[in-house]
Chain A
Amino acid sequence: MSTWNDNSGTTEKSTFNALPQPRPSRLSAPHWDGCKEGQLVAQQCQTCLQYAFPPQPFCPHCITDSLEWQICSGKGRIYSFTEIHRGQTPAFETPYIAAIIALDEGWHMLSNIIACSAEKLSIDQPVTVTFIKRGESMIPCFTPL
């Protein structure tokens, strides 16, 4: 949702106590359902074999409508990372590490690197997925291999 439609700053304090939950759309629900099964899934085009993420209605590369959800290896490399000392909201315990993961299958996602300090991380370092329970959801995070 756009921040522009709801701007009465005082009303949002109540949401600061809890970490944000994913809110799947009709398109993205299979990704989050996969997380609950302990699997990292993404759409792969059956025509050009490229991946699409975030989820799309048709292949953004070859424009055919032959995307299918595939289970991925969950392995990849750190494309970039940042150690966050100023949390998004007070619900986040600082510092934490946000990263872009380049998955071995050739797609990228935002995530967190956990169970490792920033000093021990470097760009292009291999990582693997691990799922963290948050409320009813499972959040896909990564740890160094």
Chain B
Amino acid sequence: MSNNPFQDVAIVAAYNTQQARQLENHDDLSLLTEVIQNLLQQSQLSSDDIDGINISSAVWNLKPREALSMLGGKNRWCGNEFMGIAAVIEAASAIAVGQAETILIACAQAGEYNHSGATAPWTRPSHEFSECFGLYTAAEFALCAQRHMAIYGTPVSALAEVASTIRSNGHYHPQAQFYNKGLVTTEQVLASRMICSPFRLLDCCITSEGGGGLIITTAERARDMDAQAVYIVGAGTDRQGMSYTRAPVWDECGNVGQRAAKRAFEQAQLQPKDIDVCEFYDPFSFEIIRQFEAFGFCQPGEGADFISDGRIAIDGEFPVATNGGLLSFSHAGSLQMLQKVIVAYEQLSGKMPNPLQVDNPSTAMATNGGSGALFCDVMLLANQSTAA
């Protein structure tokens, strides 16, 4: 018996543009154009079929309410949440309670990061109790990793195994920024230059430009469409306050996402062992170790052992960040948050390029955020409806 409050709202189309460090001759609006046109074509829906949207871009500063006019002046539902899983939850909730039937979510980023002398602007928030000490996103997450390493003896070799696994996935994905740039070994990770201890260059996410989006609708409508449906079977959000405004104290933020994951698993009537694909948010290698612990896949302090021996590889028990994630697929402002849902859809609908397609997966877990960011959102997806 299902407890799923989303009533099997289904993703029926998903699309990514090419991702790259810089996309020549593109800006965020041209990328959004490509995404929206392709989503409609893929789903064979017309713009009239779309009765809700959440479209945004950070560079043009396009807000969903402004973006409504891109599809013509019609009556529609409009999302408010910022991108990623939170926006998909908001839209799925709106469909589940009858506020809309078919919602298009899209996001793009290009042209923001053009001064490589400093860290990317969206990783360098100007908050009075962090900025003046030279903190930025990687350093905040490093403070969490260092504490975990001190408490549990987590070795840097475990961080390197995560990074090499995920970065090697990106080598095989044609849309990835690091497509065809070579497999990455743990030795290469450990030999890369130090950014902020314990993180070396290859432990850290890249910076990218790109666009992406998806369309969700009712399970009933999805069955009538000639499209592959993937169902939302559970979700949750954990928030502890604005990211990077205060010290990320491990005792408080180390388990962020635990409450959200528990709710999602209860809704889906699933357990961690039932998950076939782990599209976990991977801003830094350590966060994969943290999430396996926080979500109950293993006990606190056991994450380093848990990820070892190929368990998180494509052919392992719990493959992670199968498109290359933030470490080698893309990290474009906030788009990468939505891309965790997009890649879960691609895995469950059998659309991943080989050799990245996991063998016949039926469930996936997508996540956003992390310890240093003081938030974590999760979504569980399945290729079978939980409805009788």
Binding site for B on A (CB under 8 A): 1-5, 7, 9-10, 12-13, 16, 19-25, 28, 53-54, 79-90, 92, 96, 98-100, 108-112, 118, 123, 134, 137, 139
A82 pairs with B134, CB closer than 8 A: no
Contact at A82–B142, with CB atoms within 8 Å? yes
- Please tell me if the beta carbons of A111 and B146 are within 8 angstroms of each other in the complex: no
Which residues from chain B contact A12 at a C-beta distance below 8 Å? 115, 118, 121
Cross-chain contact B129 with A109 (CB below 8 angstroms): yes
Q: Which residues of B come within 8 Å of A, CB atoms?
A: 58-59, 61, 111-115, 117-119, 121-122, 124-126, 128-136, 138-139, 142-144, 146-147, 150, 193-198, 245-250
A11 and chain B: residue at smallest CB distance? B115
A1 to B124, CA, bound (A): 11
For residue B246, which residues in chain A have a CB less than 8 angstroms away from its CB? Answer: 53-54, 108, 110
Give chain A residues whose Cβ lies under 8 Å from the Cβ of B125: 2-3
Please indicate the chain A residues that have their CB under 8 angstroms from the CB of B131 in the complex.
Answer: 20, 88
Q: Quick one: given A23-B128, A85-B196, are A4 and B117 in contact (CB under 8 Å)? A: no
**In the complex, chain B residues whose CB is within 8 Å of the CB of A20:** 126, 131-132
Q: Is the CB of A98 within 8 A of B133?
A: yes
Closest to A28 in B: B128
Interface of A is mostly: mixed
Evaluate whether A87 and B134 lie within 8 angstroms (CB atoms) in the complex, with A82-B196, A100-B249 already known: yes
A139 cross-chain contacts in B, Cβ below 8 A = 132-133
Query: By the criterion CB–CB under 8 Å, are A16 and B133 in contact?
Result: no
**Interface pairs (25), CB distance under 8 Å:** A4-B58, A7-B61, A7-B112, A9-B111, A12-B118, A16-B117, A16-B118, A20-B131, A22-B128, A22-B132, A24-B128, A54-B128, A54-B129, A79-B247, A81-B146, A82-B196, A83-B194, A84-B195, A85-B196, A86-B195, A88-B131, A88-B134, A99-B143, A110-B130, A123-B147
Asked if B121 and A3 sit within 8 Å, CB to CB, the answer is yes
Give bound CA distance, A143 to B250, whole Å. Answer: 22
Q: A108 and B247: CB pair below 8 A?
A: yes
Which of B61, B128, B248 meets A5, CB within 8 Å?
B61
Contact A82 B132 (CB under 8 A): no
CA distance A3 to B128 in the complex (A): 14
Interface pair B247/A88, CB less than 8 Å apart: no
Give the shortest distance, in Å, between B82 (CB) and chain A (any CB): 8
A141 to chain B, nearest CB (A): 8
Closest 3 CB pairs of A and B: A82-B142, A80-B147, A89-B118
In the complex, which of the residues A9, A54, A80 contacts B115, with contact meaning CB atoms closer than 8 Å?
A: A9
**Cβ-closest chain A residue relative to B144:** A80
Cα distance A103–B193 when bound, in Å?
A: 32
Interface pair B195/A85, CB less than 8 Å apart: yes
How far, in whole Å, are A90 and B118 apart by their CA atoms in the complex?
Answer: 6
Chain A residue contacts of B58, Cβ below 8 A: 4, 7
Report Cα–Cα, A87/B119, bound state, in Å.
Answer: 8
Contact partners of A137 in chain B: CB under 8 A: 132
CA distance A96 to B122 in the complex (A): 21
Which of B142, B150, B245, B247 counts the most chain A CB atoms within 10 A? B247
Give complex CA distance A111, B119 in Å.
Answer: 19
B126 touches A110 (CB 8 A): no
Closest to B126 in A: A1
Q: Are A82 and B139 in contact (CB under 8 A)?
A: yes
Whether A82 and B143, one on each chain, are in contact in the complex, defined by CB atoms closer than 8 angstroms, is yes
A86 to B248, CA, bound (A): 20
Nearest B residue to A112 via CB reads B133
| Candidate in A5, A81, A90, A98 with the most chain B CB atoms within 10 angstroms | A98
Closest Cβ of chain A to B341, distance in Å, is 21
Q: Check B132–A19 contact: CB distance below 8 A.
A: yes
Find out whether the CB atom of B195 lies under 8 angstroms from the CB atom of A98.
no
The answer to whether B245 touches A54, judged by C-beta atoms less than 8 angstroms apart, is: yes
Closest to A4 in B: B58
A132 to B123, CA, bound (A): 26
Report yes or no: B132 in contact with A108, Cβ–Cβ below 8 A: no
Report the separation of the CA atoms of residues A19 and B135 in the bound assembly, to the nearest whole angstrom: 12
Residues of B within 8 A of A16 (CB): 115, 117-118
B147 A79 Cβ-Cβ under 8 A: yes
Contact indicator B124/A82 (Cβ below 8 Å): no
A109 near B247 with CB under 8 A, answer yes
Judging by beta carbons under 8 Å apart, are B128 and A100 in contact?
A: no
Taking A28-B128, A84-B196, A98-B133 as given, write out 20 further A-B residue pairs in contact, using a Cβ cutoff of 8 Å, ordered by the A residue number: A2-B125, A4-B58, A9-B115, A13-B117, A20-B132, A22-B128, A22-B132, A25-B128, A79-B147, A79-B249, A80-B146, A81-B146, A84-B195, A98-B143, A99-B143, A100-B247, A100-B248, A110-B130, A111-B133, A137-B132
Could you tell me if B196 and A21 are in contact, using CB atoms closer than 8 angstroms?
A: no
Chain A CB within 10 Å, residue with most, of B58, B134, B144, B197? B134
A100 vs B372: C-alpha distance in the bound complex, in angstroms? Answer: 12
